[in-house]
Amino acid sequence: MDGHKLKIGNIEAAVPVIQGGMGVGVSLGNLAGAVAKAGGIGVISAAQIGFREPDFDTDTKAANLRAIRKEYEKARKIAPKGVIGFNLMVAMRHYDEYVQAAIEAGADIIISGAGLPTELPKIAGDSDVKLAPVVSTEKSARVILKYWGKKYGRMPDLLVIEGPKAGGHLGFTREQLKEYGKDGSYDQEIHRILDLVKMYEEQYQCRIPAALGGGIENHEQAMHAFSLGADAIQVGTRFVTTEECDADIRYKEAYIQAEKEDIAIVKSPVGMPGRAIVNPFMKKVMAGEKIPHSPCHHCLHSCHPAEIPYCITDALIHAAKGEVDEALLFCGAYAYKAKRLETVKEVVDSLLAERV
**What's the pTM value of the predicted model, to 2 decimals?**
0.94
For residue 84, what are the contacts with CB-CB under 8 A and spacing of at least 6?
32, 33, 36, 41, 42, 43, 44, 72, 75, 76, 106, 107, 108
Alpha carbon distances (Å) from 39 to 6, 78, 121? 10, 12, 27
Q: How confident is the model at residue 308 (pLDDT cuts 50, 70, 90)?
A: confident
- Collapse the DSSP code of 244 into the 3-class scheme (helix H, G, I; strand E, B; otherwise coil) and give the result: coil
Average confidence (pLDDT) over 131-137: 97
18-38 per-position pLDDT tens digit? 999 998 999 999 999 999 999
pLDDT attached to residue 354: 61
Q: How confident is the model at residue 2 (pLDDT cuts 50, 70, 90)?
A: very low
Q: What is the sign of the dihedral through the CA atoms of 132, 138, 144 and 147? A: positive
Residue 88, beta-bridge partner list: 112
pLDDT attached to residue 1: 37
For residue 225, what are the contacts with CB-CB under 8 A and spacing of at least 6?
212, 216, 233
140-176 per-position pLDDT tens digit? 999 999 999 999 999 999 999 999 999 988 888 888 8
Report the mean per-residue pLDDT for the chain. 92
324-334 per-position pLDDT tens digit? 999 999 999 99
Query: Are 235 and 38 a contacting pair, CB within 8 Å?
Result: no
